[in-house]
């Protein structure tokens, strides 16, 4: 005896829903929902050749894995390498991570039709014990000429007390606009997603147990659909 076609249709949609939910959590593993950041900017500083621009910051969570900056270029001619360095504290001698990109990937401020204020990300292997530690990053482009420099946006004044901006190792009055991201893993991001779902919501939507119960019921219904979608073997008398 064949099962109804509607059962197979429901099973397909249930499978797709679970797949999309798992895919969403996998994407969250690449980008945390609450990055450390200094989003303000009202100035730009240029760098080229031996010039370096950097910023110190305090990591708020374990698993530091990415830093993004508001970098830009003037025109399409500069295709020099841009090198990002990360180390633990400004006084450390060895880099924890070094990432190189091409300047052609940066925002072009001379283009009329563009998406402005584009963050350029530098990803590296996660640092498991990063929480509470002070890190220092800087960018340089040794091959960029003085007449075709690169730029990075920053905010004048001490708007980020946990860190400081520097040019060529000298502290200046300002802070770079940046974002720092952390990886939490599948289960960590599941817990984070639950926290966001219940935040500032009345009961029962403000309870994690409510969403867990819904998921358990959903899985039970999914198991029932799987069972009903396949014919039950019969024994000969």
Domain CATH for 47: 2.60.120
Out of 26-40, 55-69, 156-170, least confident range: 26-40
DSSP states along 121-157:
EEEEEEETT-TT-EEEEEEE-TT--TTS-EEEEEEES
pLDDT digits (tens, 9 = 90+) for 174-207: 999 999 998 866 666 666 667 667 766 777 777 7
Same domain for 128 and 78: yes
Domain endpoint, select from 147, 168, 183: 183
Same domain, residue pair 170 and 57: yes
Considering the domain architecture, whether residues 157 and 55 belong to the same structural domain is answered as: yes
| Boundaries of domain holding 147 | 36-183
How many domains in the chain?
Answer: 2
Assess whether 193 and 179 both reside in one domain. Answer: no
Domain end: 183, 203, 220, which one? 183
Of 87, 208, 180, nearest to 138 by C-alpha is 87
Residue 20 confidence (pLDDT): 61
Report the pLDDT value the prediction gives residue 235, as an integer from 0 to 100: 57
**234 in a domain, yes or no?**
no
Is the same domain home to 200 and 154?
no
Same-domain pairing of 206 and 174 = no
pTM: 0.68
Residue 23 sits in the same domain as residue 101 = no
Give Dmax over CA atoms of the chain in angstroms.
Answer: 91
pLDDT at 53: 97
pLDDT at 204: 79
**Cα separation of the two ends of the chain:** 17
What is the rounded average pLDDT of the residues 15-32? 57
pLDDT in tens, 106-145: 888 887 666 667 899 999 999 999 999 999 999 999 999 9
Same domain for 191 and 166? no
Q: Is residue 106 part of a domain?
A: yes
Q: What is the pLDDT of residue 19?
A: 61
Tell which of 148, 167, 183 closes a domain: 183
Residues 178 and 120 grouped into a single domain: yes
Q: Are residues 106 and 63 part of one domain?
A: yes
Please report, rounded to a whole number, the percentage of residues in the chain having pLDDT higher than 70.
70
Q: Do β-strands 43-47 and 150-156 pair in parallel, antiparallel, or remain unpaired?
A: antiparallel
What is the chain's mean pLDDT, rounded? 81
Element (H, E) at 182: strand 178-182
User: Which range among 71-80, 162-171, 228-237 has the greatest average pLDDT?
Assistant: 162-171
């Amino acid at each position: 005896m064949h099962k109804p076609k509607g059962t197979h249709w429901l099973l397909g949609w249930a499978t797709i829903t679970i797949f999309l939910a798992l895919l969403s959590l996998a994407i969250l593993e690449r980008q945390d929902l609450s990055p450390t950041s200094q989003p303000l900017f009202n100035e730009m500083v240029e760098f080229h050749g031996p010039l370096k621009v950097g910023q110190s910051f305090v990591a708020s969570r374990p698993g530091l894995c990415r830093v993004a900056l508001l970098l830009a270029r003037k025109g399409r001619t500069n295709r020099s390498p841009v090198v990002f360095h990360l180390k633990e504290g400004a006084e450390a001698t060895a880099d924890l991570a070094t990432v190189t990109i091409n300047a052609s990937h940066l925002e072009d401020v001379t283009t009329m039709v563009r998406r402005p204020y584009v963050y350029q990300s530098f990803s590296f292997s996660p640092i498991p014990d990063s929480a509470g530690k002070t890190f220092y990053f800087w960018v340089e482009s040794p091959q960029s000429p003085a007449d075709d420099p690169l730029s990075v946006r920053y905010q004048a004044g001490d708007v980020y007390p946990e860190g400081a901006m520097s040019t060529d190792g000298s502290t200046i009055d300002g802070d770079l606009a940046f974002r720092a991201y952390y990886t939490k893993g599948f289960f960590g991001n599941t817990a984070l997603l639950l926290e966001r779902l219940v935040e500032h919501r009345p009961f029962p939507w403000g309870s994690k147990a409510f969403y867990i119960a819904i998921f358990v019921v959903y899985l039970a219904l999914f198991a029932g659909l799987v069972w009903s979608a396949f014919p039950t073997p019969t024994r000969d008398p």
